[in-house]
Structure 1
């Protein structure tokens, strides 16, 4: 047991930053103080170890133990727990990781985990960032290729945080084959005169672009050009995002639906989509709800919306409707001009809108802030109900 304690201490990655009283350290200490089980003892109870030492529930342990039935000793999982403790992970974090990926407990400490931690920190990641990477998808931490892939991705995305946003949407970024898809796709996008920062933005919102067959990316570029958006233009990235993984037939159907729903002509729907390609990705239901609101409640004209299509992308309940109520209330009470444009109120950042349309009128309308907050929750305050 003294050997085990010394082994665990050595595996703390020579780090003094992890507090000795952290939950995981207390958990490991408790495990070390438990009755010794010989490494050769076939009676080692994996399920009980998962509960007592790793913090899993009985049900989680029962499920996880099926993947660890070959485990006959606590020595390897103890060493893995020491690595996780060195990253500053809490008992709750560890339990979540092991429940999600029980095989992490039998990963090679000397061959994989320790080199991965050393390699990632050498790339400039802090231990807390490495911990976040592990928490996101623990099976990636068992890959020996994770360091080389992070070495490739970090310059493209510009920062760990930007890459993590992409990883949240495309968990296979660290397990895919860079040579077969990712590198050819990035090379082609660079040839299309997309800047590296634009590629990062495109792939943060749609990471599948990196992972797909290069022929699909080429088809996306051809589709964007078919809309009259040239390579290298300011709208090129946005159009690529709009048409990503949509067939020509799907795009044609969506254009027809937009025309019908917003009463647009061919020219107007083209203007709208060129200005806001995101429209191609909106669901029919969301488009219908916004159309009814704009025409029936706000009283907008089709041409007005076509020239300002970005308003269709905003949240109906969280932005469009509450701000309309505020503007209408202020107009009805003579606090702003009746010709004040609704669009100008919608596009303002939240902080600016609140300052300009609510705080500015707090003396004349002291309940406006409360009513606006209520409207943002989907309710209609009495003061916002007009005959």
Structure 2
């Protein structure tokens, strides 16, 4: 009550002096909320419009946000329409938290006519073959879809992304990570044409987008700048590595690129031109952090016995997982040597580089009777994702 009296006094002083009241932002958060609530009071009483309390108690909005949104509902005399909108969202599979998040993004959703506005959008999404749960997730993950025209925006965007990504599963995956539906179809098609023009083969276009959809969510200017960075690294357009180079540089800023370059150059002693040659042969090592690259170089040189020049010649080594491939394989080979098992004269770097199938057959399964601990040192879960990562 003290805060409410203080808020009323601040507004009253402003009225006496015929000056506009200070902006709410100049007060404390608590006082600001009460001032906003007072400004949206009815003329016949000091009580705020019923929608202020509705937005706070039913929809979970903070008081200040509820007060700002409440004027949109001034014409309502009952919560019947907001109740119907909320009930519809819940009936279509949105959780209470998801429905609240949708309303928080745009409280005006509560004014939507269920039959004329909301229901057609859900029917349209289901018509694409998405399940009830998937349709609910589309709107929960991207609330602006509830304000899109069904045939002008919503369906064309979803159809294009389903075509590019190839499945509803990938659509859900990327919707959870980025606002995939924010760009119109025309903008997306222009960026796809630009990628073709920059040298991404048609056969690899969809696969490239599946790995990083944000590649075509950029503005044309940013996409041109990205292509210029790849060109500056000397990656030939149309080459097998060009799309990977685009993805790698799209994922790192100029500062991060320099940090990773410096980590590799310090560890291997290579020149900048040699580093760029490494990048052209294996762009994917740039997906690793500078610290991880430093540790990989250190392990390859110090433990595996690979000379620094060997890493420069074969940068794919930097893409191999340190924790799931390099370290476990070296431990397994160490265990065999400790038991006196003759494994031939294979260099350790070649053992690390060998395919997963060949390594398991040649060293784990072949010698598991002589060294049972091999199955613990190199368990099956290491064999599933040892080609890249940490």
TM-score interval, smaller chain: 0.5 to 0.7
Whether the aligned pair in 2 keeps the contact of 1:220 and 1:243 (CA below 8 Å) is: yes
**Aligned equivalent of 1:147:** 155
* CA spacing shift, 1:356–1:213, aligned 2, 3 Å: same
CA RMSD of aligned residues (A): 4.0
Instruction: Output the CA distance in 2 between the equivalents of 1:291 and 1:118.
Output: 54
Whether the aligned pair in 1 keeps the contact of 2:305 and 2:349 (CA below 8 Å) is: no
Task: Tell me which structure has the larger Cα radius of gyration.
Answer: 2
Deviations 1:1-54 (A, max 9, x none): xxxxxxxxxxxxxxxxxxxxxxxxxxxxxxxxxxxxxxxxx657526853xxx7
* CA spacing shift, 1:216–1:371, aligned 2, 3 Å: same
Q: Specify every segment of 5 or more residues in structure 2 that has no aligned partner in the other structure, as ranges.
A: 1-48, 383-390
- Are residue 161 (structure 1) and residue 166 (structure 2) matched? no
**Aligned equivalent of 1:175:** 182
Q: CA deviation at 1:255?
A: 4.0
**Aligned equivalent of 1:116:** 121
Structure 1-normalised TM-score? 0.67
Higher mean alpha-carbon deviation, 361-370 vs 186-195, is at 361-370
Instruction: Output the CA distance in 2 between the equivalents of 1:284 and 1:260.
Output: 11
**Aligned equivalent of 2:42:** none
**Aligned equivalent of 2:85:** 80
Higher mean alpha-carbon deviation, 264-273 vs 234-243, is at 264-273
**Aligned equivalent of 1:22:** none
Q: CA deviation at 1:237?
A: 0.5
* CA spacing shift, 1:350–1:94, aligned 2, 3 Å: farther
Whether the aligned pair in 1 keeps the contact of 2:235 and 2:242 (CA below 8 Å) is: yes
**Aligned equivalent of 1:273:** 279
Instruction: Output the CA distance in 1 between the equivalents of 2:226 and 2:159.
Output: 27
Structure 2-normalised TM-score? 0.67
* CA spacing shift, 1:361–1:100, aligned 2, 3 Å: farther
- Are residue 286 (structure 1) and residue 286 (structure 2) matched? no
- Kindly report which structure 2 residues correspond to 1:12-51, keeping only aligned pairs within 5 A, or say none: 45-46=53-54, 50=58
Whether the aligned pair in 2 keeps the contact of 1:107 and 1:113 (CA below 8 Å) is: no
Instruction: Output the CA distance in 1 between the equivalents of 2:298 and 2:278.
Output: 18
Instruction: Output the CA distance in 2 between the equivalents of 1:227 and 1:284.
Output: 18
**Aligned equivalent of 1:94:** 96
Deviations 1:47-76 (A, max 9, x none): 6853xxx7x7xxx77788567646664433
**Which of residues 97, 105, 110 in structure 2 aligns to 1:106?**
110
Instruction: Output the CA distance in 2 between the equivalents of 1:350 and 1:101.
Output: 50
- Are residue 125 (structure 1) and residue 118 (structure 2) matched? no
Whether the aligned pair in 1 keeps the contact of 2:264 and 2:275 (CA below 8 Å) is: yes
Deviations 1:136-175 (A, max 9, x none): 333444433332211232223333333344434432x312
* CA spacing shift, 1:354–1:96, aligned 2, 3 Å: farther
Aligned residues: 324
Instruction: Output the CA distance in 1 between the equivalents of 2:356 and 2:319.
Output: 15
**Aligned equivalent of 1:233:** 239
**Which of residues 218, 221, 230 in structure 2 aligns to 1:215?**
221
Instruction: Output the CA distance in 2 between the equivalents of 1:311 and 1:263.
Output: 16
Higher mean alpha-carbon deviation, 290-299 vs 279-288, is at 279-288
* CA spacing shift, 1:325–1:100, aligned 2, 3 Å: farther
